[in-house]
Amino acid sequence: MMDVKIEQSWKTLLKDEFTKDYFLQIVTFIKAEKALGKIIYPPGALMFNAFEKTPFDKVKVVLLGQDPYHNPGQAHGLSFSVPTGIQKPPSLINIFKELQSDLGMDPSADGNLEKWAEQGVLLLNATLTVRKNEPGSHSKIGWIEFTDAVIKKLSEQKKGIVFLLWGKFAQDKQALIDETRHHVLKAAHPSPFSADKGFFGCKHFSKTNEFLMQRGLQPIDWKLN
């Protein structure tokens, strides 16, 4: 069996996925791209960073992204997040604007969302890799099947998770979620092309914390600095 370098609780949970043909195809495809000298983001050690930072038993919120950032230095395996010191991309700037309007928080100077992940926000991209400067380049190699399995397992084996589905792509995942067990919050994508069509004013940060507190759980401290 392939030894996938992923956090132990997820490794146990997803072990059947790692033996399936589609997962083998992902690995083969990425190895072939690298052999051709293609640059793949995020770096290999950060491919499963979302799982590393948020073990299965800690997941309280799932924030679903689509594709890793495709410019140098941006992707580090957490949806919407960039490493410390990297300029914030436009969608992330809009996320901070909504945080400010919802909770009165000054926008963070930093775009690194690890602090959210460590509190139980699974920052999951549907596709976990991308070719440099080619958005969507790995969206058809099998990752969707893998991350759909992740969402299904969370839905079936946990209760009371808040799923944040921003934009049509994320909202299509609603079918995988048992809404008798979990909360789904939907809004437009925070991208500059759509943020004013229902992302701004969605108040998902305060609503998430209301749901968590109703269940007697610690709310997320969304403040980064």
Share of the chain above pLDDT 70, in %: 99
The pLDDT, as a whole number, for residue 107 is: 85
Is the backbone peptide bond immediately before 42 cis, with ω within 30 degrees of 0?
yes
**Residue 31: what are its φ and ψ, rounded to 5°?**
-60, -40
Residue 122 binned pLDDT confidence (cut-offs 50, 70, 90): very high
Instruction: Report which of 60, 76, 55, 58 is spatially closest to residue 12, judged by C-alpha positions.
Output: 55
Residue type, 107: P
Is the pLDDT at 1 greater than 80? The verdict is: no
Is the pLDDT at 225 greater than 80? The verdict is: no
Residue 196 binned pLDDT confidence (cut-offs 50, 70, 90): very high
93-102 mean pLDDT: 97
The pLDDT, as a whole number, for residue 17 is: 97
pTM for this model (two decimals): 0.97
Alpha helices in 67-184, H assignment, sequence order: 90-103, 114-118, 143-157, 168-171
74-89 mean pLDDT: 97
Is the pLDDT at 118 greater than 80? The verdict is: yes
Is the pLDDT at 40 greater than 70? The verdict is: yes
Mean pLDDT of the chain: 96
| Catalytic residue positions, numbered | 67
The pLDDT, as a whole number, for residue 180 is: 97
The pLDDT, as a whole number, for residue 80 is: 97
- Any bridge partners for residue 163, and if so which? 62, 184
Q: Note every long-range contact of 208-211, with CB atoms under 8 Å and residues 24 or more positions apart, other chains counting.
A: 208/61, 208/162, 208/164, 211/160, 211/162, 211/183
Residues 6+ apart with CB under 8 A from 219: 208, 209, 212, 213
Phi-psi region of 110 (alpha: psi -120 to 50; beta: other; left: phi over 0): beta
The number of angstroms, rounded, from the C-alpha of 114 to the middle of its chain's C-alpha atoms is 11
The pLDDT, as a whole number, for residue 3 is: 81
